[in-house]
Structure 1
Amino acid sequence: MDGVHTAQVIAVTGGKGGVGKTTVAVNLSLALAELGRRVVLLDGNLGLANIDALLGLAPQYTLADLIEGRCELSDVLVRGPGGVQIVPAASGIRSMVHLSPAQHAGLIQAFSEIGDSVDVLVIDTAAGIGASVVSFVRAAQEVLLVVCDEPTSITDAYALIKLLNRDYGMNHFRVLANMAQSPQEGRNLFAKLTKVTERFLDVTLQYVGAVPYDENVRKAVQNQRAIYENFPRSKSAQAFQAIALKVDAWPLPGDPRGHVEFFLEQRIKKVREGDSPR
C-alpha cells in the first residue's frame, strides 16, 4: 500500500425541486461525520445558494469568489455543524448559473487541493437536469436520487436517469425515498421507478431506504439547524443514522472513467503506483 488517499463522492440529486435534496444532503453529511468521516458538503445550487441559509451560516467567500480567482478553495470552506466542512454557493449571481464546461471542469479540479483531507464529498445538486447538475453528477462516484410521493417526482427522476444513461452511459443509481409516510410507501416509490426504468432503460437501481415524514424537519428549518443536530432522537434523524451506515459501506472509486471527476489526480496516482483503489 502506498497510502494514497481515495475519497468517496456522492451527488444528491432528483430532477425535481421540493423533494428535500438539501435536507438529505445536509443530514446525511452530519450522520457520516458522526461516524468519524471527514466530510465536505458542496452546495451545487450555484446561483441560488441554500445550504448556508438553511444552517444560518454567513460565509466570507463563496464559489463565485473561487471561480473569479479571488481566493483558493480552502478559503471558501466554512466549518458547519458536526465538523462538516461546507462549500457555500453564491446567491443571486446569474453568471454562476451559466458556467462554461471549462469553468465547471476547473471548479471540479479545484477540489484536488483538499483531496487528502476529505473522506466523503457530498454534493447537493440544483433542481432540474441543467448543465451544472449533469456536470456534478458525472464527476461523482455515486448518484443518490431523492424521490417523494408526488407523481412529478418519479417522472422527473426518470427523466434524469434517462438523460444520464442515454447521453453519458451512466447505468448505476441509488434511490432514497424522502418524507415517506411509512417504510412500505418508500418501497412502493422505488418499485414505481424501477418499473419504468426496467421497461425502457438498461440501468441498475438500488434502494437505500426511506426517511420518514417528520414535522421536526420544518421546525429545524425554522431554527436554521439540521434536524440531525436539532432533534437527534427524531425518527428522521434515526433514519439518516441508519442510511449513513449503509453509505459508509459503499465501495470507493475505482479506476478513472475518462472524463472530469472529483479527486481524479489522487486516483491516477494510485493507478500509476500500482495500488488499485480499494
Structure 2
Amino acid sequence: MKKNKLPMVLSVTSGKGGVGKTNISVNLAYCLSKLNKKALILDADLGLANVDVMLGITPKLNLFHLFHENTPIEDIIVKTEYGFDILPAASGVSEMLSLSTGQKLELLEAMDFMEDRIDYLIVDTGAGINENVLYFNLAVQQRLLILTPEPTSLTDAYALIKILKTRHDIDRFKIVVNWARSKEEAKNVFKKLYNACDHFLSGVSLELTGIIPMDQKVKKGVASQVPFCHYDSSAPASKAMINIAKTILNWEPDQNLDGNIKFFWKKLLFQE
C-alpha cells in the first residue's frame, strides 16, 4: 500500500438474515485477492459467527479472546489458503451479542496496526437492526447492503436504512441484489427499495453495485466449504462477483468522519 493511504473499510450488511451476506463477504475477499489486493474479513456477527464455517476452518482463537483474555489481535487473525485473512468471532457465546462502549473502542484500537498492511477491510455484520449491526455500519466508510427478491428482504433492508438515516444521518448505500432470476427482476427489486426511500426518507442515496444470479455452483461451493469463485471461476455468479470487486476497486476512502468513530480513525483525524 502507498504510505498514508487509508484502507477501504466497507460493511457487507442486510436487514434480513439468510440473504447470502457472509458468502458474498468471503467471495469478495477472494476476488480482491485475485486482483492483487490485500483483504481482511472481520466477522462482525459476533455471537453467531460463520465466516470460518464457510471456509472449513476451525480457529483456535477468536474475538472473545481479545475482549476477555487480552489476546493480541495479531494472534487471532487467520491466514487462508485463498490469499485473504479473516478475523474470526465466536459462535454461541452470549457475552458477544452486545459490545460495551469500551469493547468497541478496544476493537478499533486493536485494529490500528493493520492500517498499513491491508487494502480492504470487509466487515461482515450480523443481520437486522441490533446495536452491534448499527455500530459496525457506523464505523465503516461504505455500506454494501445485500438484497434478494424476497419481499421480507426488501422490507427489512428498508428498516435498516431508515434507522441508520433517521438516528445517525447515514444516507449513502451501495446495493447488491443476490439470487436474481434475471436482471429485470433484480432491477425491479432495487427500484422498489429506491422508490420507498425516495418517498419516505429524504436525501438517501442508493447505488446498484451488482447483481448476482441464481447459480447452482454457489450451493456446491458452500457445500464444499470453499469460495464459489474458487470452486468454479467461470460460473455466472463468479463472473458477477469479480465485476463487483472491480467496481469496488474504484471506490475512494471517505475522508469524512461524519461524527462517528471509525476504523483507522486516528489516521483519518490526523492526516494532512
Query: Which TM bucket (shorter chain)?
Result: over 0.9
Answer whether contact 1:6 1:253 (CA < 8 A) is retained: no
Correspondence 1:23 to 2:23: yes
Q: Find the aligned partners of 1:194 and 1:141 in 2 and give their Cα distance.
A: 21
Q: Find the aligned partners of 2:3 and 2:131 in 1 and give their Cα distance.
A: 35
CA shift for structure 1 position 60: 1.7
Identity of aligned residues (%): 36
Answer whether contact 1:112 1:263 (CA < 8 A) is retained: yes
Answer whether contact 2:19 2:153 (CA < 8 A) is retained: yes
- State the partner residue of 1:243: 244
Answer whether contact 1:109 1:261 (CA < 8 A) is retained: no
Answer whether contact 1:42 1:87 (CA < 8 A) is retained: yes
Structure 2 runs not aligned, ≥5 long: none
Alpha carbons of structure 1 residues 69 and 113: separation in structure 2 relative to 1, 3 Å: farther
CA shift for structure 1 position 236: 0.5
Answer whether contact 1:5 1:266 (CA < 8 A) is retained: no
Name the amino acid aligned to 2:231: N
Give the secondary-structure state (helix, strand or coil) at the position aligned to 1:266.
helix
Correspondence 1:167 to 2:167: yes
Name the amino acid aligned to 1:192: K
Answer whether contact 2:212 2:237 (CA < 8 A) is retained: yes
- 202-211 or 161-170, which deviates more: 202-211
- 1:31-83 per-position Cα deviation (integer Å, ceiling 9, x unaligned): 11111111000111101110101100111210100111431111111012421
CA shift for structure 1 position 94: 0.4
Q: Find the aligned partners of 2:8 and 2:245 in 1 and give their Cα distance.
A: 13
- State the partner residue of 1:138: 138
TM-score between both structures, scaled by the size of structure 2: 0.96
- 1:161-202 per-position Cα deviation (integer Å, ceiling 9, x unaligned): 000000001111111000101111111111010010000002
RMSD of aligned residue pairs (Cα, Å)? 1.2
Answer whether contact 1:186 1:209 (CA < 8 A) is retained: no
- State the partner residue of 1:110: 110
- State the partner residue of 1:226: 227
TM-score between both structures, scaled by the size of structure 1: 0.94
Answer whether contact 2:17 2:128 (CA < 8 A) is retained: yes
Answer whether contact 1:9 1:142 (CA < 8 A) is retained: yes
Structure 1 runs not aligned, ≥5 long: none
Give the secondary-structure state (helix, strand or coil) at the position aligned to 1:9.
strand
- State the partner residue of 2:51: 51
Answer whether contact 1:39 1:122 (CA < 8 A) is retained: yes
- State the partner residue of 1:179: 179
